[in-house]
């Protein structure tokens, strides 16, 4: 294990939770009759932005659109690799207009945007590693989209099947620690997908169910610092033993919509 892991500055795209609410149910975490504290959500989101900037990361923001309560979950809008943008086509019709708003931002920032033909929910199900793109399916993004991603980027795509609806996106069950390793919750995946992950990442950090239910796998790592849900205590202890530095950030109000730290964070890889 390295004595000192080296962070890499990142560029993130986020969206202020000005219109955040739970108005419909498209995953098991969402209950429209549960009230959302918008002021608390805004305060938690602002704390995440401060934490990113305090650790040397650049944060850009897209203007929120009224009537799009899930637009705060910027990770779902696209996958950006080597300055190329693979956009989104949401499974739920309620979220499809979000793609237009994010595409507009990317184009104004000088990016070309590829529009997928198949259902694809950005970094929610597409997780770049040092060698591959790990790609989730089972609830949202389709295997056909995996093939589109591989053709567009020319990067090997490894399909992984999610089997627990509470972990409906790959980024609720797995995150990248650095170019060589990941953390994940094995029981979120089909038996074959678990075998694939074990072969690719024999030294991976394995999370408990409690960690996963606390949104501990919906984390963001810069290679040293891991921005993580405070209640994922066991996972944080493991990360510390592996030489990473946990940075607890409470986004619990967003858990009511099935989201957390990573959901609120799109990485722009130039």
Residues acting as catalytic residues: 169, 263
The neighbour count for residue 154, using CB atoms within 10 Å, is: 9
Q: d(Cα 202, Cα 83) in Å, to the nearest integer?
A: 31
Residue 72 gets which letter from DSSP? T
Sheet bearing 174-176, strands edge to edge: 174-176, 182-184, 205-206
Report CA 14 to chain centroid distance, whole Å. Answer: 12
Give the Cα separation of 83 and 111 in Å (integer): 7
Residue 270 buriedness (CB in 10 A; 0-12 / 13-18 / 19+) = exposed
Please spell the DSSP secondary structure of 226-256, one letter per residue: EEE-TT-HHHHHHHHHTT-EEEE---GGGGG
Rounded-to-integer distance, Cα 179 and Cα 201, Å:
11
Tell me if residue 38 falls in helix, strand or coil: helix
| DSSP label at residue 177 | -
- Match 């986004």 to its residue by tokens: 251
């Amino acid at each position: 294990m390295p004595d000192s892991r080296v962070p890499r500055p990142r560029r993130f795209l986020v969206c202020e939770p000005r219109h955040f609410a739970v108005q419909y149910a498209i995953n098991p975490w969402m209950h429209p009759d549960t009230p959302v504290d918008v002021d608390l959500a805004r305060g938690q989101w602002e704390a995440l932005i401060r934490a990113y900037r305090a650790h040397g990361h650049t944060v850009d923001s897209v203007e929120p659109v009224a009537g799009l309560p899930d637009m705060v979950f910027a990770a779902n809008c696209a996958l950006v690799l080597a300055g190329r943008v693979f956009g989104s086509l949401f499974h739920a019709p309620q979220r499809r207009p979000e793609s237009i708003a994010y595409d507009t931002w990317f184009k104004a920032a000088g990016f070309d945007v590829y529009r997928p033909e198949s259902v694809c929910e950005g970094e929610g199900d597409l997780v770049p590693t040092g060698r591959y793109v790990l790609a989730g399916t089972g609830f949202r993004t389709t295997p056909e989209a995996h093939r589109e991603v591989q053709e567009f980027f020319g990067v090997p795509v490894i399909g992984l099947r999610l089997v627990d609806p509470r972990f409906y996106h790959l980024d609720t069950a797995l995150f990248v620690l650095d170019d060589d390793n990941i953390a994940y919750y094995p029981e979120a995946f089909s038996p074959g997908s678990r075998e694939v992950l074990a072969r690719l990442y024999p030294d991976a950090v394995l999370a408990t169910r409690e960690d996963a239910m606390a949104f501990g796998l919906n984390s963001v790592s810069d290679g040293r610092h891991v921005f993580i849900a405070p209640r994922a205590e066991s996972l944080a202890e493991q990360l510390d033993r592996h030489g990473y530095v946990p940075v607890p950030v409470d986004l619990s109000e967003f858990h009511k919509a099935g989201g957390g730290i990573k959901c609120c964070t799109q990485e722009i890889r130039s």
